[in-house]
Structure 1
């Protein structure tokens, strides 16, 4: 089955991926989609599940692999509810960090599961590889987001937190649009994002290390 044109049933401007070094065109496209879903899961998991489910159920888009389960009314309803809750929780400094801490155990396995679901028709090896990649991308995105927001939440004023949250909403929407319409451009942007996320994680790790480093007494020999 040609997954490229299945995805473009309602998204006619979808740009197909190039044939990379003999990799089948449909497999390359699915790999890019799996990577994108892993990234998006670490940023806005519930919005991702709801948008994909709505596209499949109401937009006439054929979701590849095992993603069709997202069109079930129960999944749509629950993801829509959690999307609404997260939209407001993410903008409250006292709740945002707690929300991110809890979702460390949700976003990462969900990113792995969604990436594996993309490869539902490609065999077990492809599913395992996609799960590993999707979980890793979800983890990187989640920890970069959580670390940056933890630093922002240290500020007592709420404006910075709300602005950061709205910026993440815009980043998710723009990234998902690019994934569906310009997948090659998305992969380039994803590489740049991962470099930035790595820098944020390293900086936060060093900051936490300094906080817990034992202080030497002044004048001690």
Structure 2
């Protein structure tokens, strides 16, 4: 069976939270739940590093504007992680060239990362911090659920990941139109002459 659906799903998930993907896949392999996980992801040093970085992301991702800086730094890291995980999965399976798998995983990670970053920037215009925290928790739980589901049902998980990616792109376009309109109205209000008070 082709490993392409698992590569695509892990790529999409890496764009949202690469450390969670590496940690979850590594744990699923190390505990014997799945034979599809390459040994490189099951190494104790990889699991420890992924766990520590996952905890850092779990904190940074819930603080408005800190999450934007974190996402900016990870614009390079997440697509690379998606590509590496994809290539490792392909090497383990042997049904897809590693270079092609790396390209699929990296591209899916880049697209989902851009969706996440755009959504977060739009959410940060909201004055309250709760929406950031809720969105971060939903992302983390979604990544965990989809990666575990992908191990057992890779094709169905890939369809869900593709639908989430398409919906995310549509949401970012919608949100950015609203944010730009809001910023334009605010700028016009600030630049419009104010009525002079009567003496």
TM-score normalised per structure 2: 0.82
- Residue 195 (structure 1) aligns with: 166
1:149 to 111, 120, 136: 120
Q: Which residue of 1 aligns with 2:196?
A: none
2:67 is matched with which residue?
A: 96
* Count of paired positions: 186
Cα deviation, residue 208, structure 1 = 8.5
After superposition, residues 106-185 of structure 1 pair within 5 angstroms as 106-121=77-92, 122=94, 126-185=97-156
| 1:203, distance to aligned residue in structure 2 (A) | 4.4
Query: Do the aligned partners of 1:147 and 1:200 also contact (CA within 8 Å) in 2?
Result: no
Question: Is there any run of 5+ residues in structure 1 with no aligned partner, and where?
Answer: 1-25
User: Take 1:179 and 1:190, find their aligned partners in 2: how far apart are those partners?
Assistant: 10
With CA pairs under 8 Å and 6+ residues apart, which has the higher RCO, 1 or 2? Answer: 2
Q: Which of 56, 78, 89 lines up with 1:85 in the alignment?
A: 56
1:25-64 counterparts in 2 under 5 A? 26=1, 28=2, 30-59=3-32, 61-64=34-37
How far has the Cα of 1:189 moved from its partner? 1.3
Q: Is the 8 A contact 2:12 2:108 kept in 1?
A: yes
Whether the 8 Å CA contact 1:57–1:71 is kept in 2: the answer is: yes
Alpha-carbon contact 2:88-2:98 (below 8 Å) kept: yes
Matched-pair contact (CA < 8 Å) for 1:140–1:197: no
Partner deviation per Cα, 1:112-156 (whole Å, 9 max, x = no partner): 111111111538x71111111111110111010111011111222
Give the drift of 1:183. Answer: 2.4
CA deviation after TM superposition for structure 1 residue 48, in Å: 1.0
Q: Secondary structure at the match of 1:59?
A: coil
Runs (4+) off by over 3 Å? 200-212
Instruction: Decide whether aligned partners of structure 1 residues 201 and 158 sit closer, same or farther in structure 2, where only a CA change above 3 A counts.
Output: closer
- The answer (yes or no) to whether the contact 2:15–2:111 under 8 Å persists in 1 is yes
User: Is the Cα–Cα contact under 8 Å of residues 44 and 172 in structure 1 kept in the other structure?
Assistant: yes
SS in structure 2 opposite 1:48?
helix
- RMSD in angstroms over aligned alpha carbons? 2.6
Deviation at 1:41, TM superposition (A): 0.4
